[in-house]
Structure 1
Amino acid sequence: MISCKNLKVGYEEKIIIENLSLNIKKGEVVSIIGPNGCGKSTLLKSLSRMIKPVSGDIYIQSENIKSLKNKAISQKVCLLSQHNDAPGDLTVEELVYFGRIPHKKWYESKSKSDEELVNWAIENTGLTRYKNTPISSLSGGERQRAYIAQALCQKPDVLLLDEPTTYLDISYQLELMELVREINERLNITIVMVLHELNQASKYSDRLIIMKSGEIVSDGCPKEIINKEIIKKVYNIDCDIDNDPISNKPRIHPIQTIKIA
């Protein structure tokens, strides 16, 4: 589904990621975790071609994204960044319709098919009663749902989420993560997200990619790779780990930072 080979990515003179390779299967929910500045968001932006790699290749469904036009990429991949700033007077319905733009020619008006897709996306994100509500009147969690509805309306094969729970209260965080799982299971969309909250990443992901200093240091399902040693190596903390009785996945309990002499 997604394949990266020998990826090197940077900004101006600074290289953030060097010689990174990975494969992501169709229908997986993958979380990229690691300390600040390790290259998580840079990798995510590279997958959408928001950032062009210095070298290396990225394939989506066996097509090298270097050879794709912007519109073709937008039909395959949707990236929701940390900061989404739509005009506050847009209604939910109007915002969601923007997801159809990559599939339309500049002179085409909204079709019956577009209207059906907008309604479908709004319904699948539980926003039907807010259809005519301005974005500015929504709570943080509702607003994030509206942006996800816009992404669904785009009908991408891959949904990229950059820290989707940032700035949300805990109830909205859990609500959003549950929605992400529902979307994946119901629609079989491949989801790759950057998360800071380790227990949410463990609970809601099929697979974790752990990064440090621009490299992948561990990659696998949470039960296989979450242990005290890897958390100590990546985050420089001591922790206890037990099993979440609901998800049956590892649950991390930080104890203290490790003092560096």
Structure 2
Amino acid sequence: MAYHDTTLRTKHKTLTLEELHLSEEVRNSIHQLIEEFTYLEALKKYDIPVDNKILLHGKTGCGKTATVHAIGKALNKEVITLNLGGFVSSKLGETGKNITELFKKTSYNNAILFIDEFDFIGKLRDYDNKDSGEMQRLVNTIIQQIDNMSDTALLIGATNHLEVIDSALLRRFQIKLKYKLPTSEQLDNYYDSLLAKFPKEINSIKRAYDLSYAEAKDIALQQIKANVIQIEKRNKA
């Protein structure tokens, strides 16, 4: 099955929320979420439910996945990552059973189920008419599992295409956070913090704008690597 478990161990260093470049609105909402789970028992005394279904949407490379792992780190929760686009089988009934098992595992472990490419459920409308009934059953299965999810577990979906997701699914998410491209000022601050790690002789780059933090990092590092290589070539000449 196309999913994997992570705790605090990831391919790259797991950043804290303070280290992420987030808008004030997104940051405040995430902090509220963490506060609710930190004081979950106090809220239960008054029968107040926590918001445990979050949808992150917006541009690629703006920190959605990093946010999920930062939440996992802050709450010390296992993150179960499911890429929906690579998970859906041609046998949709089989996919429904597998998704049900993942939701059960998430609830049992009080974990975070992170569903990436959540918009893929909308793209399933492109299946042949003969599959439309199976597709609707899959959507209904996901809705049922979301509704039955333990309030001590978290569901976080991520999408770049909010508009294609079934409205009945969208209604299940109590929190929807939009990730926008950073402004030129925000990118300059990001470039400054990134370049400060390197000596002056290699940190001279041409800055690009109107792109995500991930794209900015790639562009900056490509130029820094080129600078390093040029210095090495000169030293060996």
The two structures have a TM-score, normalised by structure 1, of 0.33
Name the one with the larger strand percent. 1
- Normalised by the size of structure 2, how large is the TM-score? 0.36
> Which has more radius of gyration?
2
